[in-house]
Amino acid sequence: MIGVSLSGIIKRYGALQVVHGIDLDVAEREFVVLVGPSGCGKSTTLRMIAGLEEISEGDLEIHGKRMNRIAPKDRDVAMVFQNYALYPHLNVADNMAFGLRIRRMPKDQIATTIAETAEILGLTEYLERRPADLSGGQRQRVAMGRAIVRHPKVFLFDEPLSNLDAKLRTQMRAEIKRLHNRLGVTSVYVTHDQVEAMTLADRIVVMNDGRIEQVGTPMELFNNPANTFVAGFLGSPPMNQMKAQLTETGARVGNAEINLGRAINGNAGRDVIIGIRPEHVTLQPGEQTTALPIDLDLVEPLGSEALLHARFGEDEMVFKADTHGDISHLQGVAEVHVPAALVKVFDAETGRALRLEH
């Protein structure tokens, strides 16, 4: 069963169109993450699902019911906001009970629900505190608690972790994932952080400039990006992209020829962009690898691995290499090896992935 369905969703502000026809089905109990750079329309799309923004064109269905003209309160969705949106004058318990009181739930039932949810979120001892007396992580938990107590059909998260520091974000990310596994509620989550998207999502929707670039599982998107935008957006550091020309045997980049290990057929001479993930590069030659001469510029140690910044012809590239506890062996690297099977090829004009047969 489909939890949330968007068909041809368009959003205009006057003459300015910001969302250009979104088609997306989110299955029941699925966790879908909308990810993209600032201004790509992901939050607007989420707010249209919540009913906080009017839909200019297209159809929105939640559990099979058309929702375009339905008030937010009747959509049975709960939303967690970026800045928590906690009422500063109410304590934690009252914040969580707000929506239930508005819906005139009996008092004893409210008390039970709040107690249960507080237990799940580890907030029991903070129920009497006001938001100002809580840490960022605790506030975020209260915001989630306020959504959970409603037992909605759909959870909507609008960049809920972006106000937290890096350590807390990692911790809360895991908590959200556990909570979703436990509650199994359909969730749509917006973020600009690709790590959050990769770690949380059942499926990721990469958006750019008001359009969907690609939808798929995190590993599908990572391994087979549909275009150069997705290739550059997912992965840290992003995929190295270099202008190249297909030849009868591979791809020519500057003076070097990279073995692609697949049939070029009639595509020889075509301008392309080749993509190499930093972690796919090796320092030792392997089966079907191409050696690339590089000018090493900088080594950034990260502990177990290091980032190597280098120049290859006119292109700048970043590679990952294991340190084995020492970076001295990386200082003199003058050549790296690229495995043919892992090199991605994109059309230079459209940026779309070229499917060349292996």
Choose the binding region for other proteins from 34-42, 50-58, 159-167, 268-276 (rule: CB under 8 A). 50-58
Between 89 and 178, name the residue whose CB sits nearer to other proteins: 89
Choose the binding region for other proteins from 13-21, 32-40, 69-77, 309-317 (rule: CB under 8 A). 69-77
For 176, phi and psi rounded to 5 degrees?
-65, -45
Terminal Cα distance for the chain, rounded = 37
How far apart CA 220 and CA 197 sit, in angstroms, is 13
Question: What is the DSSP annotation of 138-168?
Answer: HHHHHHHHHHHTT--SEEEEESTTTTS-HHH
11 binds other proteins (CB under 8 A): no
99 binds other proteins (CB under 8 A): yes
81 binds other proteins (CB under 8 A): yes
Cβ 15 to other proteins shortest distance, Å: 19
Between 13 and 87, name the residue whose CB sits nearer to other proteins: 87
**Six-digit token string for 273:** 């962009």
**Which of 341, 332, 274 lies closest to 308, judged by CA?**
332
Binding test (CB under 8 A) with other proteins, winner from 19, 22, 67, 78: 78
Between 47 and 203, name the residue whose CB sits nearer to other proteins: 47
How far apart CA 234 and CA 242 sit, in angstroms, is 17
73 binds other proteins (CB under 8 A): yes
Phi-psi region of 91 (alpha: psi -120 to 50; beta: other; left: phi over 0): beta
How far apart CA 341 and CA 260 sit, in angstroms, is 6
Between 147 and 338, name the residue whose CB sits nearer to other proteins: 147
Contact 40/213 with Cβ under 8 angstroms?
A: no
Between 41 and 250, name the residue whose CB sits nearer to other proteins: 41
Residue 54: how many other CB atoms lie within 10 Å = 11
Strand blocks (E) in 254-326: 256-259, 271-276, 289-293, 295-301, 305-312, 315-322
Between 48 and 354, name the residue whose CB sits nearer to other proteins: 48
Cβ 29 to other proteins shortest distance, Å: 21
Core vs surface per residue 62-82: b (16+ CB within 10 A) or e:
bbeeebeeeeeeebbbbbbbb
Between 20 and 63, name the residue whose CB sits nearer to other proteins: 63
Cβ 50 to other proteins shortest distance, Å: 6
Cβ 140 to other proteins shortest distance, Å: 14
Between 149 and 336, name the residue whose CB sits nearer to other proteins: 149
Binding test (CB under 8 A) with other proteins, winner from 103, 151, 324, 329: 103
Site size toward other proteins (CB under 8 A) is: 22
Site map (CB under 8 A) of other proteins, residues 135-154, x = contact: -----------x---x----
Contact 142/153 with Cβ under 8 angstroms?
A: no
**Six-digit token string for 197:** 């998207």
Binding test (CB under 8 A) with other proteins, winner from 21, 61, 98, 202: 98
How far apart CA 226 and CA 220 sit, in angstroms, is 10
Cβ 320 to other proteins shortest distance, Å: 26
**Six-digit token string for 81:** 């906001």
79 binds other proteins (CB under 8 A): yes
51 binds other proteins (CB under 8 A): yes
Cβ 228 to other proteins shortest distance, Å: 35
Interface residues toward other proteins, by CB under 8 A: 50-52, 72-73, 77-79, 81-83, 85, 87-90, 98-99, 102-103, 146, 150
